[in-house]
Amino acid sequence: MGKILWVDLSKQSFQIKPLDKNIIRDFIGGRGSGVKILYDHLKKGTDPFSEKNLLIFATGPLTGTPVPMSGRFSAITLSPLTKTILDSNCGGNFGLQLKHAGFDMLVIEGKAKKIIYLAITPDNIKFENAEDLKGKTTIETRNIIEKKEKKKGSVVTIGPAGENKVRFASAENDGRFLGRGGIGAVMGSKNLKAIYAKGDKKIKVADPKSLEFFIYESRKWLKANPITSTGLPKFGTAVLMNIVHEAGILPINNFKSNQFASASDLSGEEVTEKLFIKKRACYRCPVACGRITKTSSKQGEGPEFETLWSLGALLGINDISWVAETGYLCNELGLDTISAGSTIACAMEMEEKGFISVGLKFGKKENIHKVLKDIAFRENIGNEMAEGSLLFSRKFGTGNESISVKGLELPAYDPRSAHGMALAYVTSNRGGCHLRAYMIAPELLGIPKKIDRFSDNGKAGLVAVMQDSAAASDSLIICRFASFAISDEYFSRLLSAVTGEDISTMNFRLIGERIFNLERLFNLREGFSFKDDNLPSRLILENLNKKRKINIDKMLNEYYRFRGWDDNGVPTSKKLEMLGLK
């Protein structure tokens, strides 16, 4: 669309700026363009809750086109949880509507004097009073704004957790979430309750005939792959539960065990049998991995695999209806379920050790809903837990009860049983995350081929290549599940057809490498170093599998060399010059 909407909440003003063609050439869009703008405009040492922090919503060149699984958008900011660079990727229709309104990106700075919501249409940008929405849940807020605006568009909104600056607060859009790292908290710090977007502008592509052919081919690949054609459509993301548990990769009781006799009670098969109402798909998605579910007393979105784990197995709880309802509660309050569950598990371990007494015990459901509400409203012990598990455990425990990397709580894959995943965690630029390089694909699922998951050898190059590919696809933007079936070669062809530029597979991956290195430079500028590329001590010292222990130092050294970084994990001048970042 060629335009950026730049909003200053402090002045309640906006500018429409041209989209820099150099940024698009070098960083594509989405995650990449957002990272570049944040790096260039955010000063070192900015407080994430300062009005000077930027919050960027970015679409990609595929957004709004007929490309399958392209109905997504990214949010980029300085994370209040980790203090690292943060991008979060979301489904829903906001990216589509923002682009239809005529904008590729929305950049937000400043802080409103009172709580407001922002309304974006092709003809008008409005700053609307939202005092009446204070304390409302994400769903309540979305419904009220849709009625106020009359025309059904798309709303990104926060719940009470975001308003109260819970450091792992999420933002909701059409039943999908900007989950990790505290996007919702940054919105709350700016007194921004929600953003509404609605447009009708047409989105043009450079080569419609070529695009039509590549879409046809991409759909064939999606149908040919068993995960995207059968597993995810039939059981949703929870299809992974039994597979991951049987391999000894599912962390239980705050990563103290990998054995849970009742794990199958939380599986995709159980969701389908006991809770399933209907499938839910994002825009232009043939996979439809989302689920609308219902318990005996409530209906809502999910639960996804990570939620079934973080609010179930990780806590030693196997009541699938209760887990689903707890997931609904987190969604309404605006809490990231991975960090929320992990912080609860951290508190349970601290209570076992006698550091705190709040009535939280592994395997017991009592008090969890109350504590989650206390976190969202920053009341009682919840005020401390709202800081995230790392700060919480350092203040009241030993610090070792938090299973996190760079302050971001780890997801549902125990790296002691998948050593490539360990390397992916410690080198992820946004903290402990499985989506920067999903090493579970080759180490467990055999995609593109099976490798020894307990080996420390030869993983570095694969992790780096997967990270670069992920950075590029997050900039297109296309769903990460698409990469199970569609190769970088087809991603580059889709990009070429949409933009009219001849972008080779090699150049596509080079752009991903450029993005990943710039994120690394951002974190280095903020004071991070190779010392932060490390796992919690428990995962290094405790060996649950009686297999080889993780040699993280060995893998890191190999990784740094492969990346063209020095021994301290700093990109060399030669590498930066090659990437055009010098």
- Which residues constitute the domain of residue 304? 233-405
CA distances from 503 to 26, 32, 490, 498 (A): 11, 16, 11, 11
Q: What is the CATH number of the domain that holds 372?
A: 1.10.569.10
pLDDT for 549 equals: 87
Asked if residues 471 and 31 have their Cβ atoms less than 8 Å apart, the reply is yes
Residue 498 lies in a domain: no
Residue 249 lies in a domain: yes
Residue 219 lies in a domain: no
- Per-residue pLDDT tens digits of the chain, which is 582 residues long: 999 999 999 999 999 999 999 999 999 999 999 999 999 999 999 999 999 999 999 999 999 999 999 999 999 999 999 999 999 999 999 999 999 999 999 999 999 999 999 999 999 999 999 999 999 999 999 999 999 998 889 999 999 999 999 999 999 999 999 999 999 999 999 999 999 999 999 999 999 999 999 999 999 999 999 999 999 999 999 999 999 999 999 999 999 999 899 999 999 999 999 999 999 999 989 999 999 999 999 999 999 999 999 999 999 999 999 999 999 999 999 999 999 999 999 999 999 999 999 999 999 999 999 999 999 999 999 999 999 999 999 999 999 999 999 999 999 999 999 999 999 999 999 999 999 999 999 999 998 899 999 999 989 999 999 999 999 999 999 999 999 999 999 999 999 999 999 999 999 999 999 999 999 999 999 999 999 999 999 999 887 777 788 999 999 999 999 999 999 999 999 999 999 998
Of 197, 222, 246, which residue constitutes the final position of a domain? 197
3-state secondary structure 365-409: CCCHHHHHHHHHHCCCCHHHHCCCHHHHHHHHCCCCCCCEECCEE
130: which 2 tokens? 């939202």
CA distances from 202 to 1, 35, 64, 121, 497 (A): 9, 27, 9, 14, 17
Please check whether residues 392 and 438 belong to one and the same domain: no
Please check whether residues 394 and 521 belong to one and the same domain: no
pLDDT for 547 equals: 73
Please check whether residues 185 and 304 belong to one and the same domain: no
Interior/surface letters 152-170, b for 16+ CB within 10 angstroms, e for the rest: ebbbbbbbbbbbbbbbbbb
Name, in order, each residue with C-beta under 8 angstroms of 523's C-beta and a sequence gap of 6 or more. Answer: 84, 85, 429
Please check whether residues 257 and 185 belong to one and the same domain: no
Name, in order, each residue with C-beta under 8 angstroms of 498's C-beta and a sequence gap of 6 or more. Answer: 61, 62, 65, 67, 205, 206, 207, 211
pLDDT for 132 equals: 96
The domain total for the chain is 3
**Model confidence, pTM:** 0.96
Give the amino acid at 57: F
Please check whether residues 160 and 253 belong to one and the same domain: no
Ramachandran angles phi, psi of 157, nearest 5°? -140, 155
pLDDT for 416 equals: 94
Please check whether residues 451 and 544 belong to one and the same domain: yes
Please check whether residues 31 and 142 belong to one and the same domain: yes
Residue 410 lies in a domain: no
- What is the maximal distance between C-alpha atoms in the chain? 66
Beta carbons within 10 angstroms of residue 223's beta carbon: 12
Please check whether residues 387 and 429 belong to one and the same domain: no
Please check whether residues 436 and 565 belong to one and the same domain: yes
Residue 207 lies in a domain: no
Please check whether residues 528 and 549 belong to one and the same domain: yes
Residue 489 lies in a domain: no
Of 145, 170, 197, which residue constitutes the final position of a domain? 197
Residue 145 lies in a domain: yes
Of 353, 386, 405, which residue constitutes the final position of a domain? 405
Q: What is the CATH number of the domain that holds 546?
A: 1.10.599.10
Distance CA 359, CA 351 (A): 8
Residue 224 lies in a domain: no
pLDDT for 543 equals: 78
Please check whether residues 156 and 69 belong to one and the same domain: yes
pLDDT for 259 equals: 87
Please check whether residues 437 and 386 belong to one and the same domain: no
